[in-house]
């Protein structure tokens, strides 16, 4: 008896929330409305949102060839000219297929994340130098004062 109730509950949920066309439309709208990235963190969020929606569409059985060209245009228009140039420099065919664009975006994100790790290290060194600069200036000033006396 419990199994029948469970199956009935699943059927009700599928009828209420499992309408394929509505789900497809929701994911396509989400892709269309994704905010344009401007920082490394927002590029990661942008990529993750794109991937999440594209994979959900694939799970619904939607073939990328049916919307890939349109989505390529939408995604590329959201990217800054600098990001597009960087992507096309590394992947000249990134605008030819959705899979090529996804690969190019992922690799660009990974490159930026690796670069960010290095720049964090460099920033630490700069902050340390900035921290030491007043102390060095004070030492120099104190030395001058001692020479005058």
- Taking each helix axis from N to C end, the angle separating 68-78 and 40-59, rounded to the nearest 10 degrees, works out to 170
- For the residues 43-50, what does the mean pLDDT come to? 92
In a domain, 139, yes or no: no
Q: How far is CA 76 from CA 43, 85, 91, 115, in A?
A: 13, 11, 13, 22
- In Å, how far from its chain's centre is CA 141? 49
pTM: 0.65
pLDDT digits (tens, 9 = 90+) for 140-149: 444 445 555 5
Q: Is residue 76 part of a domain?
A: yes
pLDDT exceeds cutoff 70 at 123: no
Tokens 């959900």 locate to 56
Structural domain harbouring 76: 2-109
Domain count, the chain: 1
Buried b (16+ CB within 10 A) or exposed e, 61-74: ebebeebbeebbeb
Question: Is 91 inside a domain boundary?
Answer: yes
Collapsed DSSP state (helix, strand, coil) of residue 128: helix
Chain segment 10-41, per-residue pLDDT in tens:
888 777 777 888 889 999 999 999 999 887 77
> Using 50, 70 and 90 to split pLDDT, how confident is the model at 122?
very low
Asked whether residue 37 is domain-assigned, the answer is: yes
Residue 39 inside a domain? The answer is yes
Is residue 21 a part of any domain in this protein?
yes
Considering the chain, what is the average pLDDT of its residues? Answer: 78
Is residue 140 assigned to a domain?
A: no
The span from the CA of 12 to the CA of 18, in Å, is: 9
CB 72 within 8 A of CB 95: yes
| 119 within a domain of the structure (yes/no) | no
How far apart CA 32 and CA 80 sit, in angstroms, is: 16
């Amino acid at each position: 008896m419990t199994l029948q109730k469970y199956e009935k509950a699943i059927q009700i949920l599928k009828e209420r929330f499992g309408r394929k066309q509505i789900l497809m439309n929701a994911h396509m709208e989400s892709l269309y409305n994704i905010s344009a990235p401007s920082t490394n963190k927002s590029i990661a969020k942008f990529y993750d949102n794109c991937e999440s929606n594209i994979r959900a569409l694939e799970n619904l059985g939607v073939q990328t060839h049916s919307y890939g060209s349109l989505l390529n245009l939408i995604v590329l228009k959201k990217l800054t000219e600098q990001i597009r140039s960087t992507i096309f420099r590394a992947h000249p065919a990134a605008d030819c297929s959705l899979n090529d664009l996804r690969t190019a975006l992922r690799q660009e994100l990974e490159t930026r994340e690796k670069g960010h790790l290095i720049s964090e290290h460099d920033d630490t060194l700069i902050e340390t130098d900035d921290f030491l600069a007043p102390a060095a200036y004070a030492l120099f000033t104190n030395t001058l004062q001692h020479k005058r006396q």
